[in-house]
Structure 1
Amino acid sequence: MRKSPMRAGDRSKINPTRRRVIQLVAAATGISFLPSQAKASTPTVHWAGRLMGAEAELTLYHEDESTARRAIESVVAEAQRLERIFSLYHPSSQLIELNTKGALASPPTEMVKLLEQSRAFWKVTGGVFDPTVQPLFEHYADRFSSLGSAKKQPLVQVLDRVGFDNVTYNDELVSFNKPGMALTLNGIAQGYITDRVHDMLKAAGFKAALINMGEYRALGPKCDDTPWRVGIADAKKPWQLYDTLEVSGGAIATSAPSGATFDADGRHHHLLHPHLGTSPSYYRSVTVKAPSATCADALSTAFSIMPVDDIKRVALRMADVGVLLRTQADEQIRVNL
């Protein structure tokens, strides 16, 4: 989200900065290849671009540089296809059609799969991870809009339109059980797309790659068998790193309240609690290390608005999930790391 879950055409003062504070290399707008660098006898090929309104990048090692470039073209095309399903930025996406009409007939298989995974994280977090918070986002975007609005509603009425248990989906139809509901998949879709790219590269025979389609996932270690090192930036001073994590086959995602704010002082931000309708600010940032980018993405979103004890309870019963919390008091709390 930041990735802010704002629909095309929304008018507000919200800070459009993406919520993620993981930093590795800078990205450029559009599809472009950066110069390859020799690493032993294996060329390194970089791609940098944008996806779902945020920076994206790939780093591949392969003996044949032209093969790596063709693979990048293929996975980027797939990522862009998925973006046209899940995006709140693309005016003709299936998600925007669903939100506009309240139903979507013959939904893409990927949307049904992602809704099923969303339900799993909704359950494991006690309903804190909830993609139906989009009406709350629109409520606050409208509230702090420079243009104002004549259709502002009390928060309690907005909350009545939030609740993943009121989303029905199957291979034939996705629909909302209440009028005025809307979904944002920005808290999980980047991870899903990252995992899809990972699986495509693995199937194509790649052994070493670092993938960032909104979240980071490693396909094996680097070609010299050392892990990838991912720096975690200070959410308030993004030019500074306060920690690093190593990854050789899993994923890392970070969420921060400062990633997208509605008001100037940041008291109201994009990480919205579906039960309360407010933006808790327990942490400056939350980083999750998990086997998949989908898992890391969803949990970093949910954990950002959960107390420490609740985070520990969820993380400790999930395999291979680690959490790095940085509190507002600048205290670091590690769970399973």
Structure 2
Amino acid sequence: MPEFSRRRFLTIFAAAGALATAPFTVKAQHPVQTWKGVAMGSAASISLSHPNADEILSRATRELERLENIFSLYREHSTLAQLNRDGVIDAPPFEFLECLGLCGTINRASGGLFDPTVQSLWHLYAQSYSQGQAPEASSIRKALSRTGWDKVVIDRNQVSFKVQNMAMTLNGIAQGYVADRIARLLREDGLNNVLINTGEFTALGGHPDGKDWPVSIDTGMRLRKEKVMLRDNALATSLPNGTFFDQAGLVGHILDPRTGYPAKARPKAVSVTAARAAVADGVSTSICLMNDGEADKFLAQFPSTKMV
């Protein structure tokens, strides 16, 4: 699940329409100011109302950059890229360990459906379809032998793979985790009434005008356009058919770690709210591989979560 993959057709408009880079006046004491850019390969923004907004946004974007150097799949020297290249990483950053701990929790709760080690499978599909053909069944079986969360060894001093040529992607959870970390940074500074968008959303408090933050999701495929109101919670969306491996648009990018084949349970977008964006992110990704009954039992294990 590479960084652009789940949202190639996902356009998100927040704060009562697309957030402009210029401040707009509301009932708050200070105008809402928004930084817009890119984080974890997705369109990103941070909106807040504060007399020192420029300084706060600058500090938040520096933290975004630091976190991307941990979680990016495509930055050569990121922690994740080093693990994938060398099969081991010594003295991993705390944030990396914390995110992997949450991965383990969601992996167990989902019966193994949430599995960041599917990157070898993803690479196989991408390479095969770039050559105009589906991967052979034998190649899928070989790639599956290099997947499995039980093949990842984690302690505070080292993270390693038990099997050679394994690879991990955190794109099913890292965007949400990064949003949570930025929220934590701003909360510790005493801020409230902030909306953070890293491809997934986290709201600290509500909108400065006293109302909730309105976040409208448009998949670009006329599947859903309803508005979700956020206040002190988070929202994540996964779209199984947001990106396709094949030119015909038939082979979606979310792969089932049980079979090695693309998800079939849910062709439509899955949106989940939760207290933490990382939880919403991982849960929404997992549900793409579940039927309704399985999703209900899975959600019950995370009391703060809700499909919207």
Tell me the TM-score normalised to structure 1 length.
Answer: 0.84
Task: Tell me how far 1:92 sits from its aligned partner.
Answer: 1.6
Look up the match of 1:248. 231
Instruction: Name the structure where strand makes up a greater proportion of residues.
Output: 1
Amino acid at match of 1:106: A
Between the aligned partners of 2:129 and 2:82, the Cα distance in structure 1 is 25
Q: Partner letter of residue 42 of structure 1? A: H
Q: Does 1:55 align with 2:43?
A: yes
Structure 1 alignment gaps of length 5 or more: 6-15, 28-32, 325-337
TM-score in terms of structure 2 length = 0.92
User: Match for 1:261 among 217, 227, 244?
Assistant: 244
Deviations 1:106-128 (A, max 9, x none): 11111111111110110111111
Q: Which amino acid aligns with 1:125?
A: S
Question: Would the aligned equivalents of 1:216 and 1:251 in 2 still touch at CA under 8 Å?
Answer: yes
Post-superposition offset of 1:21? 5.1
Q: Take 2:7 and 2:47, find their aligned partners in 1: how far apart are those partners?
A: 24
- Alignment deviations for residues 197-247 of structure 1 (CA, whole Å, 9 cap, x no partner): 11111111211011012210100011222111111214524xx85211111
Asked whether the equivalents of residues 124 and 135 of structure 2 are also in contact (C-alpha less than 8 Å), the reply is: no
| 1:271 pairs with 2:254 | yes
Kindly indicate whether the alpha-carbon contact (under 8 Å) linking 1:217 and 1:250 is maintained by their aligned counterparts in 2.
Answer: yes
Instruction: Give the drift of 1:162.
Output: 0.8
Counterpart mapping for 1:26-65 below 5 A: 34-40=21-27, 41-62=29-50, 64=51
RMSD, matched Cα: 2.3
Read off the aligned partner of 1:260 and give its amino acid letter: T
Q: Is the 8 A contact 1:18 1:259 kept in 2?
A: yes
Residue identity in the other structure for 2:221: K
Q: Which amino acid aligns with 1:61?
A: S
CA deviation after TM superposition for structure 1 residue 320, in Å: 2.1
Query: Cα–Cα, structure 1 residues 312 and 287, in superposed 2: closer, same or farther, change >3 Å?
Result: same
Partners of 1:218 and 1:185 in 2: CA distance: 22
Secondary structure of the residue aligned to 1:274 is coil
Q: Distance in 1 between matches of 2:290 and 2:197?
A: 26
Judging changes above 3 Å, is the alpha-carbon distance between structure 1 residues 308 and 74 closer, same or farther for their aligned structure 2 residues?
same
Give the aligned partner of residue 206 of structure 1.
191
Say whether the 8 Å CA contact 1:267–1:279 is kept in structure 2.
Answer: no
Letter in 1 for 2:23: S
Instruction: For structure 2, list consecutive stretches of 5 or more residues without a partner in the other structure.
Output: none
1:297 to 281, 284, 307: 281
**What is the aligned residue count?**
304
Contact kept, 8 Å, 1:84 with 1:92, in 2: the verdict is yes
Determine the C-alpha separation between the residues in 2 that align with 1:287 and 1:82.
24
Change (3 A) 1:148 1:253: same
Q: Distance in 1 between matches of 2:160 and 2:9?
A: 28
More deviation in 132-141 or 279-288? Answer: 279-288
Structure 1 position 317 matched with structure 2 position 264: no
- Show structure 1 runs of 4+ deviating over 6 A: 147-152
Counterpart Cα distance in 2 of 1:284 and 1:38: 36
1-structure distance, mates of 2:252, 2:4: 10
Percent sequence identity is 33
Instruction: Give the AA of the match of 2:21.
Output: L
Within a 5 Å distance, the mapping from 1:167-186 to structure 2 comes to: 167-186=152-171
